[in-house]
Copies of this chain bind each other. A is one copy, B any other.
Amino acid sequence: MKLPDIYCNPSQNEWPELCRRAEQDNSQIMERVVAIVERVAKEGDKAIKELAMQIDGVSLESLQVSEAEFSEAEAMVSAEVKAAIEVAKRNISSFHEAQLPREVRVETQPGVMCVQRPVAIDSVGLYIPGGTAPLFSTVLMLALPAKIAGCREVILCTPTNKQGRVAAEVLYTARRCGISKVFKVGGAQAVAAMSYGTESVPKVDKIFGPGNRYVTLAKQLVASRRTAIDMPAGPSEVMVMADETSLPAFVAADMLSQAEHGRDSQAIVVCNSVELAKQINDELNSQTQRLERGVYIAESLANSRIVVFDDKSQMVAFANEYAAEHLIISMEDAWSVAEKITAAGSIFIGNYSPESAGDYASGTNHTLPTSGWARSYGGVNIDSFMRKMTIQSLSTEGLESLAPTIVAMAEAEGLEAHAAAVKVRLEK
């Protein structure tokens, strides 16, 4: 296996290259995505069923998961997994409940009351990708805050296996989160169905959830035209900041945990000694051999690297340049290093906070910004499921008092009707 390259004290003009994520050329498939979306928009359920047969070889009668299927799923999930889901659900719920925003009221001047009112988005759609072992943890991460925020309608779309069945853990978890409407549709078709609505699938106001390139491009397409989405998506990544207080075995394990997500994923270590870098590589080597899918996982380290800086402030600056989706800080004074981080999705403090803890059950959300989007996006949280409307109410005195200001500005902007709307009221 090829171990990550080690870079020593790279100069700042080399950083962009070191922070570069894997290239994603989506130009070929965008045309196909547009075609799928337009077809589902036009033909609804019929198109979904035809595409399921065409793309996945699956024959679907009903697109909606039935009560019987939910019950079968419940019986199939082990007690151990059910217990784990309860713990994760409790932690994720309590952290997200604490985020609920309050109304803000300010009387900016006498008789001029301004209010900022948070209101849940009415209808949201969650996408859960399929696969051999579907990531049901994402159901918790999206459904729980949607319900806590108060969204009236929360639906879920997920593709089936070749037998037309949805993974039991996904159905069980959806039901535990209070979701009753689950639809058997995947890919760009699912995004289109939720954006336009079909005979079976309700139209939603915002779409959440990860997916393959077809899903990602379809989300991008609808986001510019008609339906909001959670955030731009890209391959998963982790950066580990390490020093002499780290354990190389732990750092290597965290890198492999990330690499497990696939070829495009990336793990970057930023540390303060070449010796430590080599120890980490040794650990990567030995741990890869012990994992069942170790060879496959090792290939996914192709995009990974270790960067050594003598200077701690350089480590921090580099971390901020990278703007990691997941940032593990295994350093002395980790909290104080965290204070200096200006861009990251989710931060993990110390040696006993593996990324897996956040992925599943600490309480934080695992739907996080990748590819540097952490500079401008936060991860999914309660705000993602709400909007803040503003309200103003002026008394007659309030308007009289504010009138000269409004009129002066409107006239300076050449907007006489804006000024007139105030004047007509003053005349009364």
Contacts and interface: CB of A to CB of B under 8 A. Distances in A.
Contacts of A259: 417
A250 B425 contact: yes
A358 interface: yes
Given A106-B363, A408-B81, A391 B224 contact: no
A349 B352 CA distance: 53
A71 B365 CA distance: 49
B393 A349 contact: yes
A387 interface: yes
Interface string A126-139: 00000011111100
A62 interface: no
Interface stretch (A42-50, A179-187, A338-346): A338-346
Interface string A392-428: 1111101100101110111011111111111011001
Copy number in the complex reads: 2
Interface stretch (A33-41, A82-90, A273-281): A82-90
Contact of A421 (B83, B355, B377, B399): B355
Contacts of A354: 399, 406, 421-422, 425
A58 interface: no
B253 A133 contact: no
A133 B425 contact: no
B416 A292 contact: yes
Given A253-B417, A259-B417, A417-B260, A112 B91 contact: yes
Contacts of A334: 393
A360 to B, nearest CB: 5
A27 to B, nearest CB: 12
A361 B409 contact: yes
B413 A134 contact: yes
A119 interface: yes
A262 to B, nearest CB: 11
A53 interface: no
A116 B381 contact: yes
A256 interface: yes
Contacts of A116: 95, 98-99, 381
Interface stretch (A158-166, A303-311, A368-376): A368-376
B362 A108 contact: yes
A74 interface: no
Contacts of A348: 391-393
A40 B357 CA distance: 44
- Of the listed residues A287, A378, A388, A405, the one surrounded by the most CB atoms of chain B closer than 10 A to its CB is A405
Contact of A415 (B205, B260, B393, B424): B260
Contacts of A359: 406, 410, 418
10 contacts: A81-B409, A84-B406, A91-B114, A250-B424, A256-B417, A346-B392, A354-B421, A356-B406, A361-B406, A374-B389
In the A-B complex, the 10 residue pairs with the smallest Cβ-Cβ separation, listed nearest first, are A133-B414, A228-B376, A349-B393, A108-B363, A378-B387, A91-B108, A84-B408, A378-B388, A260-B417, A253-B421
